[in-house]
C-alpha cells in the first residue's frame, strides 16, 4: 500500500520532533530545504535552523563546529552532494574529529529520477562506508524512517541517512519493533536469502512472492543499517539458505553487496549474486523506467535468486561456525 | 600596554619560537616557516587576549581558537605547554608514536585544542559554526580563527566568509597569516589573491591590517576588533615566513616544510638567547 505521506514530509516532522525533544538539535540546509521537506522546521524553531546557501562543504564543517560546541546538527542535501561532494569535510571535520553530526542525503541512486545522471549518487554508500566512524542508515518506508530517524538522533556519533523523498510502498505498521543495529528478517525462508535496502525492499518483497509461486522459499532481510552491518543476521541466514542475492539502489561495487560479501566470505562463504547498478552511470528517467533500465525489478531479483541457488547446488558450501 | 607587559610578551614569544623549533628539531623536519610566522599572534592570543583557564580546558564560555592552517600546530602546542596545559617536556613527543601532539591540531588528543583541523579550508567553517553556536547559547566569548594565505585559495574559505557575514558574526575574529609564500612559490606566482583587503571588505568583513610581528600592535588590533559590532572581523597579519629563525627565513619558500638538523637548532637557540631567556 502506498504511504499517505511523502518521505520528505515525514522527515520534516521527524526533525521538528527531534528539536522539540532535545534543545541541542539544530538544522542546517544548503538551499534544498523546500525540496527535501526540512523547510517546515524553520517556522517552529527559527533560531535553530540555518541555511548556508549552495555551499555544502561549508554546511558540513559549520555543523562540525557547532557539534564541537555540543549542538547536534542535522545537515541536509541531495545524496550526491552529501557524500561525494563533501567527502573530505565528512572524513576530517566530522568523522575524524568524532563530531555528532547527522547527514541526510536524499534521492540516492536512480531515485534522483528527472534530475538525471549528474545527480545520481551510485557510489554514496561506497564513499561513506569506507570512512571510519560513521553509521549508515537507509529507511524503506515512512514507518522505518520515523523510528530509524529517532534512533539515529539518539545514537552518539556521525550518521549518514540516505532516503527517497517521495511516496513509497508502506511495508511496516506502527507495531514494527526497530533496532538501529539489527537487521530485519521480513520473511523467513530456507532456499535463498534476498538481502535488500531502501527502495529495493519493496522489489525484494515482490520477488519473494514470485519465488514462492515457483516453489522457492526465499528469506528476506532488510538491511536498514548497512554500517555497521548486522553480521550475525547475515551469517545465520547464509548458513540457513546457502545462497544470497543483494538488492540495492547503488553501484554493485562498494555498497550493500560489498558489505554482505565481506561478512559471508569470512563467516560462511556462499554465492552472493548482486542486483544493483552494474558499475555504470545513472541516466534521466522516472523510477519505473529506471528500475527496468538498470535491471532492478522483482523479476531481476528472481532471476538472480535462481542463479544463486544453481551455484549453491553446483558447488558444495563449506560453512564453519 | 606598559613596557613590562610588552617585555613579558616578547620573552614569551621568544620562548614559544624556541620551544617550537626544538620540538620540530626533535623530529628532524616540520612546517617551520608557517609555525614561525604566527608566533607573535599566538603569543598575544594565549597570553594577553583569550579568556581561558589551563586548569579547566573545557571551561564553558571560554574563548576558542581554530587553527585552520592546522599545520602550524607546533606553535600552538608550545603556547599551550607554556601556559600550563601540559608539561613542557611533552613538546618533545611531537609526531612521535602515541603522541598527543600530531602535526595538525586534533581536539580529541590535545588538552586546550578546541577543533581538529588540517585539511585546508575547513577550519574557518568550523569557526563559523562555533560562532553561531556561541551566539545561539547566549555566550559572550570570542571565536578566533587563523587561516593561511595559501589556504585562502580554497573555495571553502569564501563559503565560510559569506556565511560569517550573512549571519553577522561579530563574535568571530579571523586572522590571515599573510606571509605571501606557499609550497610551490610565492602566493602571487602560484595563484594570486589579488588584494585580500578589498576582497574581505567586499565579503562583508571589517578588515584591519597589522604587522604580524609587532606584539603591541597585535594587542591593540585585537582590542579594536572586539569592539567592532555587526560584522565579523578579518585581520590581515603581515608576516615573514620563518620569522626569527635565520635559516628558515633564508629558506623563504622552502621553509614551508623543511629538514631541521641538531646543529641548526643549536645555532637558532643562540640567536634567540635561549639560555639567558630561561635563567632570568
pLDDT digits (tens, 9 = 90+) for A274-319: 999 999 999 999 999 999 999 999 999 999 999 999 999 987 545 4
Which of A66, A88, A97 comes nearest B132 by C-beta? A66
A/B interface, count of CB pairs below 8 Å: 104
Question: According to the model, what pLDDT value does residue A320 have?
Answer: 44
CA A165 to chain centre: 12
Question: According to the model, what pLDDT value does residue A315 have?
Answer: 72
In chain B, which ranges are E strands?
29-30, 64-67, 143-148, 172-178, 181-182, 185-186, 206-211, 233-238, 258-259
Same fold, A7-163 and A184-313: yes
Contact assignment for B125 to A50 by CB distance below 8 Å: no
CA distance B177 to chain A (A): 21
What is B7-28 written as a DSSP string?
Answer: HHHHHHHHHHHHHHHHHHHHHT
Start-to-end Cα distance in chain B: 22
CA dist A32 and A39 (Å) reads: 8
CA dist B196 and B198 (Å) reads: 5
pLDDT digits (tens, 9 = 90+) for A37-71: 999 999 999 999 999 999 999 999 999 999 999 99
Closest residue in B to A55 (Cα) is: B159
Contact assignment for B121 to A57 by CB distance below 8 Å: yes
Question: According to the model, what pLDDT value does residue A321 have?
Answer: 40
Contact assignment for B116 to A69 by CB distance below 8 Å: no
Q: What is the CATH number of the domain that holds B208?
A: 3.40.50.970
Averaged confidence pLDDT in chain B: 97
Interchain CB contact of A27 with B (< 8 Å): no
Question: According to the model, what pLDDT value does residue B278 have?
Answer: 86
Give the pLDDT band (50/70/90) at residue B213.
very high
Q: Residue B192 CB: number of other CB atoms within 10 A?
A: 11
- Which grid cell is B141? 566569548
Q: Residue B195 CB: number of other CB atoms within 10 A?
A: 10
CATH 3.30.365.10 for the A184-313 domain, yes or no: no
- Which grid cell is A281? 552511470
CATH 3.40.50.970 for the A7-163 domain, yes or no: yes
- Which grid cell is A284? 534521466
Interface test with B, best of A31, A45, A48, A62 (most B CBs within 10 A): A62
- Indicate the pairing of strand A102-106 with strand A159-163: parallel
Contact assignment for A57 to B159 by CB distance below 8 Å: yes
CA dist B100 and B230 (Å) reads: 38
Taking CB atoms and an 8 Å cutoff, what residues of chain A touch B167?
50
Percent of chain B with pLDDT over 90: 98
Contact assignment for B136 to A48 by CB distance below 8 Å: yes
Taking CB atoms and an 8 Å cutoff, what residues of chain B touch A97?
106-108, 115-116
Average pLDDT over residues A110-118: 96
Question: According to the model, what pLDDT value does residue A316 have?
Answer: 54
Contact B24, B39 (CB under 8 A): no
ipTM entry: 0.95
pLDDT at A191 over 90: yes
Taking CB atoms and an 8 Å cutoff, what residues of chain A touch B168?
none
Taking CB atoms and an 8 Å cutoff, what residues of chain A touch B134?
69
Contact assignment for B122 to A55 by CB distance below 8 Å: no
The DSSP 8-state label assigned to residue A249 in this structure reads E
* Residues on B contacting A at a C-beta cutoff of 8 Å: 66, 106-108, 114-119, 121-123, 125-134, 136-137, 155-156, 159-160, 162-163, 166-167
In chain B, the number of structural domains is 1
Contact assignment for B160 to A47 by CB distance below 8 Å: no
Domain ranges within chain A, ordered by starting residue: 7-163, 184-313
Taking CB atoms and an 8 Å cutoff, what residues of chain A touch B132?
50, 62, 65-66
Of residues A321 and A194, more confidently modeled: A194
CA distance A28 to chain B (A): 10
In chain A, residues 133-192 whose CB comes closer than 8 Å to chain B: none
Q: Which domain holds residue B35?
A: 3-279
pLDDT digits (tens, 9 = 90+) for B242-268: 999 999 999 999 999 999 999 999 999
Which of B118, B129, B133 comes nearest A92 by C-beta? B118
Contact assignment for B129 to A92 by CB distance below 8 Å: no
- Classified as helix, coil or strand, B97 is coil
CA distance A295 to chain B (A): 39
Contact assignment for B134 to A92 by CB distance below 8 Å: no
pLDDT digits (tens, 9 = 90+) for A134-149: 999 999 999 999 999 9
- Indicate the pairing of strand A25-29 with strand A49-51: parallel
pLDDT digits (tens, 9 = 90+) for B18-61: 999 999 999 999 999 999 999 999 999 999 999 999 999 999 99
Amino acid at each position: 500500500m502506498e504511504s499517505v505521506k511523502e518521505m520528505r514530509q515525514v522527515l520534516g516532522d521527524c526533525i521538528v520532533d527531534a528539536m522539540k525533544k532535545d534543545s541541542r538539535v539544530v538544522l542546517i540546509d544548503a538551499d534544498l530545504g523546500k525540496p527535501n521537506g526540512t523547510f517546515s522546521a524553520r517556522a517552529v524553531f527559527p533560531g535553530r535552523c540555518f541555511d548556508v546557501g549552495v555551499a555544502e562543504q561549508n554546511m558540513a564543517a559549520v555543523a562540525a563546529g557547532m557539534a564541537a560546541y555540543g549542538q547536534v546538527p542535522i545537515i541536509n542535501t541531495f545524496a550526491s552532494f552529501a557524500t561525494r561532494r563533501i567527502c573530505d569535510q565528512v572524513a576530517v571535520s566530522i568523522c575524524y574529529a568524532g563530531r555528532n553530526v547527522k547527514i541526510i542525503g536524499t534521492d540516492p541512486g536512480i531515485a534522483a529520477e528527472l534530475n538525471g545522471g549528474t545527480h545520481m549518487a551510485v557510489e554514496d554508500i561506497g564513499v561513506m562506508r569506507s570512512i571510519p566512524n560513521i553509521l549508515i542508515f537507509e529507511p524503506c518506508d515512512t514507518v522505518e524512517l520515523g523510528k530509524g530517524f529517532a534512533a539515529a538522533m539518539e545514537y552518539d556519533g556521525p550518521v549518514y541517512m540516505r532516503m527517497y523523498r517521495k511516496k513509497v510502498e508502506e511495508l511496516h505498521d506502527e507495531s514494527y519493533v526497530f533496532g538501529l543495529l539489527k537487521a530485519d528478517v521480513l520473511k523467513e525462508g530456507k532456499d535463498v536469502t534476498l538481502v535488500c535496502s531502501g527502495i529495493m525492499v519493496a522489489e525484494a518483497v515482490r520477488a519473494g512472492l514470485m519465488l514462492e509461486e515457483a516453489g522457492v522459499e526465499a528469506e528476506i532481510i532488510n538491511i536498514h543499517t548497512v554500517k555497521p552491518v548486522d553480521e550475525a543476521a547475515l551469517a545465520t541466514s547464509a548458513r540457513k539458505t546457502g545462497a544470497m542475492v543483494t538488492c540495492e539502489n547503488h553501484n554493485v561495487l562498494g555498497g550493500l553487496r560489498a558489505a554482505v560479501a565481506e561478512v559471508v566470505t569470512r563467516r560462511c562463504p556462499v554465492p552472493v549474486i548482486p542486483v544493483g547498478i552494474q558499475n555504470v552511470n545513472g541516466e534521466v528517467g522516472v523510477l519505473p523506467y529506471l528500475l527496468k533500465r538498470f535491471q532492478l525489478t522483482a523479476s531481476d531479483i528472481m532471476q538472480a535468486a535462481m542463479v544463486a541457488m544453481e551455484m549453491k547446488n553446483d558447488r558444495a558450501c563449506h560453512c564453519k561456525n | 600596554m606598559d613596557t613590562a607587559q610588552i617585555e613579558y610578551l616578547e620573552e614569551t614569544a621568544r620562548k614559544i619560537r624556541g620551544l617550537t623549533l626544538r620540538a620540530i628539531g626533535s623530529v628532524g623536519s616540520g612546517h617551520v616557516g608557517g609555525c614561525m610566522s604566527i608566533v607573535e599572534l599566538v603569543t598575544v592570543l594565549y597570553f594577553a587576549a583569550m579568556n581561558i583557564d589551563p586548569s579547566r580546558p573545557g571551561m564553558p564560555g571560554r574563548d576558542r581558537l581554530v587553527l585552520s592552517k592546522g599545520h602550524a600546530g607546533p606553535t600552538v602546542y608550545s603556547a599551550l605547554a607554556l601556559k600550563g596545559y601540559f608539561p613542557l617536556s611533552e613538546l618533545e613527543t611531537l609526531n612521535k608514536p602515541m603522541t598527543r601532539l600530531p602535526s595538525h591540531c586534533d581536539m580529541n588528543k590535545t588538552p586546550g585544542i578546541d577543533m581538529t583541523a588540517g585539511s585546508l579550508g575547513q577550519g574557518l567553517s568550523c569557526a563559523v559554526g562555533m560562532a553561531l553556536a556561541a551566539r545561539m547559547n547566549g555566550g559572550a566569548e570570542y571565536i578566533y580563527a587563523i587561516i593561511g594565505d595559501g589556504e585562502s585559495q580554497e573555495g571553502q574559505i569564501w563559503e565560510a566568509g559569506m556565511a560569517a557575514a550573512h549571519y553577522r558574526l561579530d563574535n568571530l575574529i579571523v586572522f590571515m597569516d599573510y606571509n605571501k609564500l606557499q609550497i610551490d612559490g610565492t602566493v602571487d606566482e602560484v595563484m594570486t589573491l589579488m588584494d585580500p583587503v578589498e576582497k574581505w571588505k567586499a565579503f562583508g568583513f571589517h578588515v584591519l591590517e597589522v604587522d604580524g610581528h609587532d606584539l603591541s600592535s597585535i594587542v591593540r588590533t585585537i582590542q579594536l576588533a572586539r569592539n567592532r559590532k555587526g560584522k565579523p572581523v578579518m585581520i590581515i597579519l603581515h608576516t615573514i615566513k620563518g620569522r626569527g629563525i635565520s635559516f628558515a627565513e633564508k629558506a623563504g619558500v622552502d621553509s614551508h616544510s623543511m629538514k631541521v638538523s641538531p646543529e641548526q637548532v643549536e645555532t637558532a637557540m643562540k640567536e634567540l638567547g635561549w639560555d639567558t631567556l630561561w635563567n632570568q
